[in-house]
Amino acid sequence: QVRLAESGGGSVQAGGSLKLSCTVSASTYTSLYMGWFRQAPGKEREEVSCISWSGGSTSYADSVKGRFTISQDNAKKTVYLQMNSLKREDTAMYYCAASKPVWGIGCDRLALSDYRNWGQGTQVTVSS
């Protein structure tokens, strides 16, 4: 069983930064890809970024490229999302997710349905 625990959300002014963390509790996890998603009120959940535990595969939504950085710390079983130059439109509930076991493809090839385990979410609010 895979359990995810997110932290690091909060309120920040536009232009500011936040760093989200997602810690995985699982006996085996290195074959899972990790993703950060967000959902704003009235909108569909969208993928923000994804990463493999090797770090060799990463992907970003166009809306966050150059501002957000995903990383992982295998020793801590933790995935991070560093968010810089935050904009009001980044306001959303952010979710960490773990995929089904995957081999041989980039994390950008995964669909929403491939993510099987979800965290409880952490709110990010950006004000102008």
DSSP letter string, 3-72: EEEEE--EEEETT--EEEEEEEE-S--TTEEEEEEEE-TTS--EEEEEEETTSS-EEE-TTTTTTEEEEE
| C-alpha closest to that of 1 among 21, 29, 22 | 29
pLDDT for res 69: 98
Per-residue pLDDT of the chain (128 residues; tens, 9 = 90+): 899 999 999 999 999 999 999 999 988 888 899 999 999 999 999 999 999 988 889 999 999 999 999 999 999 999 999 999 999 999 999 999 999 999 889 999 999 999 999 999 999 999 99
Could you tell me if residue 126 is left (phi over 0), alpha (psi between -120 and 50 degrees) or otherwise beta?
A: beta
- Return the pLDDT at 68: 98
pLDDT at site 28 = 86
